[in-house]
Amino acid sequence: MKEDEFRIFVGSLPEVPGILGRDLYFNSAVLVPFLLIEGEYHLLFQKRAAGIRQGSEICFPGGRHDSCLDRDFQETALRETVEELGLARDKITITGRLDTLVTPRGVIVETFIGTLALDNLDDLRPASREVEEVFTIPVSWFMENRPEIYFTRVELQASNIGPDGKKQIFLPVDELGLPAMYGQNREGMKNRVIVYKTEKYLVWGLTAAIVFEMIQKIVRG
């Protein structure tokens, strides 16, 4: 590399670094909708329709980023919210965003905070193919109730036995001459699983993780 090539390279680096290998991940965006009800802010949640992926689970509106439809991740969050809730775009105001969430399963979630200009949930027209139910929970409930915290174990596997009983090699350790330890299944990090139990709903997983981190920011001020 020559000196001028190095200068061009350095000049092309972003001021704010992104996520290395981002295109290899499932990129998505969600909206955390705040709704003012009788002077108190509530969070709006969806219960997924039973027949779709992760059916009957509780989530925020959002979905996969589509570079053909969305110029950025905020557009993804807005588009999915409009589609899922049946709410006009001009009824949504983006007020900020939270940190990027990256999961051990290769899912990246960009999270946006927004307010909804709604008088009543009956004004919504949720997409029945995706949304079974829409409901709200006061933000104060999450501030006053600590979640239960569990863990799953993440394991690194260089090989595995497939459904047909044959060994599948993901990393050819012997062929590459790598140390034998890299051919063994190794325990990685523990993945935190947050669970909020309300009287009627179970809020857990990615949605609960977003709520938990947001509440920490609210409490710390």
CATH number at 132 reads 3.90.79.10
Please state, in angstroms and rounded to a whole number, the distance separating the CA atoms of residues 3 and 198: 61
| Residue-number span of the structural domain to which 35 is assigned | 23-147+195-220
In a domain, 85, yes or no: yes
Give the SS3 label for residue 129: coil
For range 149-178, the mean pLDDT: 92
Q: With 0-12 CB in 10 A as exposed, 13-18 as middle and 19+ as buried, what is 14?
A: exposed
Long-range own/partner contacts, residues 94-100 (CB < 8 A, 24 or more apart): 94/31, 95/34, 98/32, 98/210, 98/213, 98/214, 98/217, 99/213, 100/19
Q: Do residue 124 and residue 176 come from a single domain?
A: no
User: What's the pLDDT score for residue 221?
Assistant: 75
The confidence band for 40, taking pLDDT boundaries of 50, 70 and 90, is very high
pLDDT per position as a tens digit, 13-29: 999 899 999 999 999 99
Q: Do residue 68 and residue 93 come from a single domain?
A: yes
User: What's the pLDDT score for residue 58?
Assistant: 97
In a domain, 6, yes or no: no
Q: Do residue 49 and residue 101 come from a single domain?
A: yes
pTM score above 0.85: yes
The confidence band for 45, taking pLDDT boundaries of 50, 70 and 90, is very high
Total count of domains within the chain: 2
Using a pLDDT cut of 70, give the percent of the chain over it. 100
- By the 8 A CB rule, do 75 and 89 touch? no
